[in-house]
Amino acid sequence: MLTLYDLPVSSYGCKIRVVMTHKQLDWRSVPPPDGYGSPAYCKIIPSGTIPAIDQDGFRLADSEAIAEYLDEIIASPPMLPVDPQDRARIREISRFHDTRLEPVLRAYFAHVSPETRNRTFVTSNTKMLQKRLNQLDQIASPAPLLYGDQLTIADCGFVASFALIATLQDVFSLDLNIPKPLQAYERALVMHPSVEKQNAAYHEALSSWVANKLND
Ligand SMILES: N[C@@H](CCC(=O)N[C@@H](CS)C(=O)NCC(=O)O)C(=O)O
């Protein structure tokens, strides 16, 4: 059986859980020994990051590489468009998510606990988040998902990010204006049958994580 090194609260892990659910794969989730980045885990996965997979000794890290690998070895249902330009656009959005949007969300993590919160940082990071959402609104044309009705690799990353945005909005009372097409996209995404259960589980993991941070 496929092993997934993962933790319930991992956003990139959530992306792979949605891919695996959509591909109807069986897998077992294993926490990285001694935590991610630990010497014990780096012996297995040199980058020390989660998610990572082990398929009969073939080990692979990086959510995007994993998602594309799974899409190539399990052809149905396909998670990338066939047309080269559509395919490239979906990859562009997925990389925009991973390299431009998600890091801005991650930057809030150190400020969730009131003990370590810096309001000036939160305000400036929110301006950056607004900028990224506006950019996404220009790049993507959800109808209702990023590529019509077909769930793609790019959609999978947004499951955790929309959950994170909602959670962070509550924690920091963020003054965000999420463009209307993106709001409609989120509504369609979380209703997708391959997303629903993973989305609910991710919200639950986030709630416990935030509750722990607020009680630190
Ligand atoms: N580009 C990587 C990023 C993964 C990532 O940063 N994962 C976090 C946890 S959600 C992690 O492992 N951090 C540990 C570290 O950076 O050492 C991916 O897409 O898998």
pLDDT digits 0-9 by tens, 32-43: 999 999 999 999
DSSP, collapsed to helix, strand or coil, labels residue 58 as: strand
For the Cβ of 125 lying below 6 angstroms from any atom of ligand 1, the answer is no
Looking at 38, 73, 108, the residue that finishes a domain is: 73
Looking at 43, 73, 103, the residue that finishes a domain is: 73
User: Residue 25 — φ and ψ, nearest 5°?
Assistant: -90, 150
Residue 192, both tokens: 């997708």
pLDDT mean over 208-212: 96
pLDDT band at 1 (very low <50, low <70, confident <90, very high): confident
Cβ neighbours of residue 197 under 8 Å, at least 6 residues apart? 21
For the Cβ of 94 lying below 6 angstroms from any atom of ligand 1, the answer is no
pLDDT mean over 91-115: 97
pLDDT band at 150 (very low <50, low <70, confident <90, very high): very high
How confident is the model over 41-67, as pLDDT tens digits?
999 999 999 999 999 999 999 999 999
Q: Which domain holds residue 185?
A: 84-214
**Domain co-membership, 8 together with 113:** no
pLDDT above 90 (res 216): no
**Domain co-membership, 131 together with 189:** yes
**Domain co-membership, 25 together with 88:** no
CA dist list (Å): 67 to 12, 32, 85, 91, 97: 10, 19, 19, 11, 14
For the Cβ of 114 lying below 6 angstroms from any atom of ligand 1, the answer is no
**Domain co-membership, 105 together with 149:** yes
pLDDT above 90 (res 215): no
For the Cβ of 98 lying below 6 angstroms from any atom of ligand 1, the answer is yes
pLDDT above 90 (res 84): yes
For the Cβ of 14 lying below 6 angstroms from any atom of ligand 1, the answer is no
Query: Can you tell me the distance from the alpha carbon of 63 to that of 193, in angstroms, rounded to the nearest whole number?
Result: 21
For the Cβ of 10 lying below 6 angstroms from any atom of ligand 1, the answer is yes
**Domain co-membership, 134 together with 210:** yes
**Domain co-membership, 41 together with 91:** no
For the Cβ of 161 lying below 6 angstroms from any atom of ligand 1, the answer is no
For residue 117, give the CATH number of its domain.
Answer: 1.20.1050.10
pLDDT given for residue 41 in this prediction:
98
The pLDDT mean for the chain works out to: 97
pLDDT mean over 132-143: 98
**Domain co-membership, 115 together with 209:** yes
How remote is the CA of residue 197 from the centroid of ligand 1, in Å? 23
pLDDT given for residue 123 in this prediction:
96
How remote is the CA of residue 83 from the centroid of ligand 1, in Å? 30
Q: Where are the alpha helices (DSSP H) in the chain?
A: 11-22, 39-44, 63-73, 84-96, 102-106, 119-139, 153-172, 180-191, 196-214
Give a yes or no: residue 18 inside a domain: yes
pLDDT given for residue 133 in this prediction:
98
Percent of the chain beyond pLDDT 90?
Answer: 99
**Domain co-membership, 45 together with 88:** no
Looking at 23, 42, 73, the residue that finishes a domain is: 73
Which of ligand 1's atoms lies nearest the C-alpha of 49? Answer: 12
Q: Structure pTM?
A: 0.97
Give a yes or no: residue 79 inside a domain: no
Number of domains in the chain: 2
pLDDT mean over 182-207: 98
- Ligand 1 atom 17 nearest Cα: 37
How remote is the CA of residue 50 from the centroid of ligand 1, in Å? 5
